[in-house]
Amino acid sequence: MGQTLTGLLTSVRAIAGRPGSPPRARPGDGPDPALLAALRHCGDHLAALAASGPLTDARRTRLIASIGALTTACSTPDADAFDALLRTGQQALDSGGDAEARLALALADEATALRARSKGAWRLRGNALDALGRSEEAITAYERHLALQQNTAASRDVERRVAALRAAGDLIDEALALAGDGDGDGSEGAAGAVRLSRQLPAADARAAFTELVRLRTTERGAADPAVRRLAALYAEHRRLSDRDPMADPLLGGAEPIGVPGLRRFLAGRAVCLVADTPHTAEQEQRPGSSLAALIEGYDLVVRCDAVRHAAPTARTDLHAVTLRGDAPWKGPRWGRRATARLVFGDPLPHWRLAVRSRLVPGAQDRIGDATLRRPLHDPALLAGAADADGPASTAYTVLRLLDFLGTPARVDLIGFEGPAALSPREREWIGSRAGTTDDTAVRITLR
């Protein structure tokens, strides 16, 4: 891949020139100056990738291939280089990094310069700005897309995204008004409010909002009505920031649920997490088995990841899975029937693509939304609970989430010993909260 990358960079430089070189006059039917500028942006990105060492990320490999296709289109008479430009911008966004989002924005800028009335170009620009957290600029680009879009059905997801971004900005405005109601004229809280603005990039706005809530809580106390309202605004802002804003027809009719919906789903129920081991599966299927009767007595049965041993008909009320690898959307589809399914993973574009690609229509009634995709890392949930020494198991993530939500009547583990044993750190956390262990050592009560 290193030689291919070097060769592609050479080809890009040969067509578009090097950084800082004067714009070339358009020779006859040669590439438009905006396409040449787009190729120079791609060349800069390729040079940065080459300097970063060997490529092991499949997403970047696909981006390089897309840049190669754009390069070929720019040097081939009558080729549709504009579509190749949009595809390269979208592939940059799908790669997930900040540098790739900046490349996507640069390509979108050149695309809108080429065709100011291109719906795809304006949507790409909106998506790139959105990915960079530049919400107000993203709204402007999305509105240009909507003004050009004649298909009402195709524009609904963008309309919903614009509404979500505006709602997030309105929450900030209300928080600023609350912060301005203080009785001091130079308080820490007022300073925090000055730093918060709907014009800030999303990450900076979240940090400033967090700081404002902390300062106001310290200044007035958590029982103050204004502080309680400020905390509620903060929580809603976080949900709007992290939720997948696009209503997705590919969810197969499943109802998306967030934290409030999951709390209601679990409220007052006895829950068990069942390990997927040959022994547990054999006991579940044996007629008259005490283990099968034990599991059947729970209100809600949870299974995790790829369930290889339990029978396809084994009861599963909640299925949880953690996305792994560079291309998690390419894994086997989740066809096991479950009342609800939670999918843990990051970054958001990869999580979204995996959910769309791997859900089986009709295999679940509810699907956890993006606010539940990273509970161990989300400051609004369990930030700091992740193990720095390695990724958490799905079972541990579920346990921490259920313990945090606090609405189940009881949460038990069944079969998590031997090959299914959790990591030492995870076992330590469970041990510190274990209520009882039954005589057969297959059940640990957490609450």
Total-model pTM: 0.54
What's residue 55's pLDDT?
66
pLDDT of residue 109: 95
pLDDT at 247 over 50: no
Question: Cα 376 vs. chain centroid, distance in angstroms?
Answer: 13
Secondary structure of residue 226 in the 3-state scheme: helix
Q: What is residue 345's predicted lDDT score, i.e. its pLDDT?
A: 92
8 φ, ψ (degrees, to nearest 5): -65, -40
Q: Are 273 and 316 in contact (CB under 8 A)?
A: no
Q: Is the dihedral of CA 21, 26, 31, 33 positive or negative?
A: positive
User: How far apart (Å, rounded) are the C-alpha atoms in residues 407 and 401?
Assistant: 11
Cα distances from 362 to residues 49, 318, 339, in angstroms, run 42, 14, 10
Q: Does residue 169 register a pLDDT over 70?
A: yes
pLDDT in tens, 36-83: 888 888 888 888 887 877 666 677 788 888 888 888 888 887 777 899
Q: What is the mean pLDDT of residues 206-224?
A: 86
Distances 141 to 108, 116, 243, 244, 332 between C-alpha atoms, Å: 10, 11, 20, 19, 36
Cβ neighbours of residue 65 under 8 Å, at least 6 residues apart? none
Average pLDDT of every residue of the chain: 81
pLDDT tens by residue, 297-337: 899 999 999 888 888 778 899 999 999 988 888 888 898 89
Q: Residue 9's pLDDT is what?
A: 75
How far apart are the C-alpha atoms of 329 and 250, rounded to whole Å? 14
